Amino acid sequence: MKNIRNFSIIAHIDHGKSTLADRLIQYTGVVDARNFQDQILDNMDIERERGITIKSQAISLPYRAKDGIDYTLNLIDTPGHVDFSYEVSRSLASCEGVLLLIDAAQGVQAQTIANLYLAMENNLEIIPVINKIDLPSADVERVIEQIDSELGLDPDLHLPCSAKEGIGIEAILEAIVERIPPPKGDADAPLAALIFDAKYDSFRGTVIHCRIMDGTVKSGDIISFMYNQATYRVEEVGHFLINRQKMDQLTAGDVGYIIAGVKTVSDVRTGDTITHENRPCTQPLPGFKEVKPVVFASIYPIASDDYEDLAVALDKYKLNDASFVYQKDSSVALGQGFRCGFLGLLHLDVVQERLEREYDLSIILSVPSVRYRFTLKDGTVLYVDNPTEYPEPMSIAKGEEPYIRATMMLPERYVGTVMKLCMEKRGVNSTLNYTSPGRAELVYEMPLAEVIYDFYDRFKSVTQGYGSFDYDLIDYRESSLVLLDILVNGEKVDALSQIVHRERARARGVLACDRLKEEIPRQMFKIAIQGAIGGEIISRSTINAFRKDVTSKCYGGDITRKRKLLEKQKKGKKRMKMIGQVSIPQSAFLAVLKTDTD
């Protein structure tokens, strides 16, 4: 264990994380036989061209240090947006240190700081590395100064390198060995393994990525997940090299994988603790959060014939996304579809894009909603996340909406603007802490509904990317809620309805009508858009019919070109949903949520 180092590389985008990872892999060989080395490097080049540099989430690098001892350096990738900060935090929790990579020409950037905050929260050893020193525009002195003034780290600790040119790699490896502490843990204690990811392999089922904190696990063991006491028999354990490599056992301090006949990734929870059924550890490892969907929207195929294809696609997609949930649903306006739960709007975006790209589907999503709680006069308590299930207004005794505690880390100079933003979002009970000079921690309680729509984008914008944002659901609080309906040419479009706070309802209605006017293209008929609460029209906008489009000349040579243009338009129309005689594009459904960003 004392010869193990678990670390990660964190950086602002494009500062060279992947290239450095490549170099570390190349430098440490990874594969024993020298005659395979060229081939592996070639393969790496191909992968790099395709944009993949590390095949696995984690990779174990064997390294013989200057002191002559053989070390195992476990590099854990922290993929994706720092928005999915929970996943990132569990990856970091599996490490003891990080390389904080900074581009020598660009200097410290927003994500450099945001990532640093996360690493500090996890009490990791931080090694600042200045990359791309080979660039003519590199200004290493300036970056050293920034490490001191902006990051608050000891500038003497920095390491210069050029991942591209392969300069300074050995020094980095030595620093990992010297400065990052070895993992602590007791190989004989009851098993406690932290799950930081899980992937679905069509041949082997779910592959669990984990860091062994205490104990030892091997093939044949009966393990249990502490979250739900589910038990499984271990089929195989091992390390990640370029591919998975089977091992006899994994022990305290190790990073590797467990295959245990777990059918789907949904059965595995990031942050959960794996232990032995017959000798469990007493406490689960800290930091576990049950990841629950907080935003709900319905997905419909644009062509009702595609319903089956959508069902199949959702099934396949879910294999590798444990946090995505869905069930059958239908809408008067949009037909048969599925009600889905997401971690947030970014998650929704990702799911939507993948369904469209990877499964080639034309889909429409209804306006997303959070889950509200209504207490009726007769005492029944209803959870409603679908506006179409809004209870009869007369029967409602109390309406409540979910509140979150938002924790924001940002440079001091943005505190004022961010506080204004939070108050705009009905934020209350704020606390402000200066965790270090120039760095503030701001906490607000806000309704989740105000946050899911575009809070994160605006937050990033007002902090110029330097702010980091995380939240937890705290409780349900009473709120004056109403149902805002949208009518298109007199017809209510249920998929556009929203449950809103009474005080915001009129403004939301006006905004929704304006946004729809922008998103819905002009058509052959005039389109009247109205916002209504109860039976009362509270806002409206009109889209005029277009009156002239025909081109003057259409002779022999014009026909092909004109037909191609019309074919293209026809294709565009197919991607819109017909509600009555009005073609509505998918963008319209999300647009009604956007608040004024000016």
Partner 1 sequence: MEPQDHTLNPGLYLHIPFCKTKCPYCNFYSVTDLNLKERFLSALNAEMPFYREAFPFFDTLYIGGGTPSVLNGKEFETLFRHIHDHFSLSPDAEITVEINPADHDTDMLSLLRNLGVNRLNIGIQSFDDTILTFLGRRHKAREAREALALACRSGFAHLGLDLIYGVPGQDMASWMADLQYVKNLPIDHLSCYQLSLEQDTPLGSRFQNGDFALPIEQMQLDFFKKTSAFLREAGFLHYEVSNFARGADAMARHNQKYWHHIPYLGLGPAAHSFNGRKRWWNHRNLEAYLDDLGKGISPVADEERLRPEQLRLETLFLGFRTAAGVDIDAFYRKFKRDLLKEKSVMLKHLQQEGLVVIENGYIRPTLNGMAVADQLALI
Question: Which residues in this chain contact partner 1 in the complex, by CB under 8 A?
Answer: 523-525, 545-557, 559-560, 562-563, 566-567, 569-570, 573, 581
Minimum separation from the CB atom of position 569 to partner 1 (A): 6
DSSP for 404-421, please give it. Answer: EEEEEEEEGGGHHHHHHH
The smaller minimum CB distance to partner 1, of residues 448 and 582, is found at 582
Minimum separation from the CB atom of position 527 to partner 1 (A): 12
The smaller minimum CB distance to partner 1, of residues 397 and 559, is found at 559
Minimum separation from the CB atom of position 495 to partner 1 (A): 21
Distance of CA 40 to the CA centre of its chain: 32
**Side chain identity at 125, as an amino acid letter?**
E
Helix or strand run (H / E) with residue 373? strand 372-376
Minimum separation from the CB atom of position 417 to partner 1 (A): 36
Contact by Cβ (8 Å): 384, 499 = yes
The smaller minimum CB distance to partner 1, of residues 243 and 560, is found at 560
Minimum separation from the CB atom of position 307 to partner 1 (A): 22
Minimum separation from the CB atom of position 476 to partner 1 (A): 45
The smaller minimum CB distance to partner 1, of residues 171 and 545, is found at 545
Residue 57 DSSP code: S
CB atoms within 10 A of CB 51: 7
In the numeric block, which tokens belong to residue 534? 């109860």
Angle at 167 between CA 163 and CA 168, to 5 degrees: 100
The smaller minimum CB distance to partner 1, of residues 171 and 559, is found at 559
Minimum separation from the CB atom of position 302 to partner 1 (A): 16
The smaller minimum CB distance to partner 1, of residues 203 and 555, is found at 555
| Maximum Cα–Cα distance across the chain | 87
The smaller minimum CB distance to partner 1, of residues 245 and 581, is found at 581
Contact by Cβ (8 Å): 191, 212 = yes
- Helical spans, DSSP H, in 359-474: 415-424, 448-452, 455-462
Residue 369 DSSP code: B
Minimum separation from the CB atom of position 574 to partner 1 (A): 11
Specify the 3-state DSSP secondary structure of 267. helix
Minimum separation from the CB atom of position 567 to partner 1 (A): 7
Minimum separation from the CB atom of position 576 to partner 1 (A): 12
The smaller minimum CB distance to partner 1, of residues 474 and 545, is found at 545
Cβ neighbours of residue 341 closer than 8 Å, sequence gap 6 or more: 292, 293, 294, 295, 296, 324, 325, 326, 385
Residue 88 DSSP code: H
The smaller minimum CB distance to partner 1, of residues 219 and 523, is found at 523
Distances (CA, A) of 468 to 83, 220, 508, 573: 8, 43, 27, 40
Distances (CA, A) of 187 to 92, 182, 251, 287: 21, 14, 6, 22
CB atoms within 10 A of CB 423: 13
Minimum separation from the CB atom of position 584 to partner 1 (A): 16
Q: Where do we find the tokens 């889950």?
A: 371
The three state secondary structure string of 494-552 is HHHCEEEEHHHHHHHHHHHHHHHHHHCCCCCCCEEEEEEECCEEEEEEEECCCCCCCCC
The smaller minimum CB distance to partner 1, of residues 211 and 517, is found at 517
The smaller minimum CB distance to partner 1, of residues 357 and 571, is found at 571
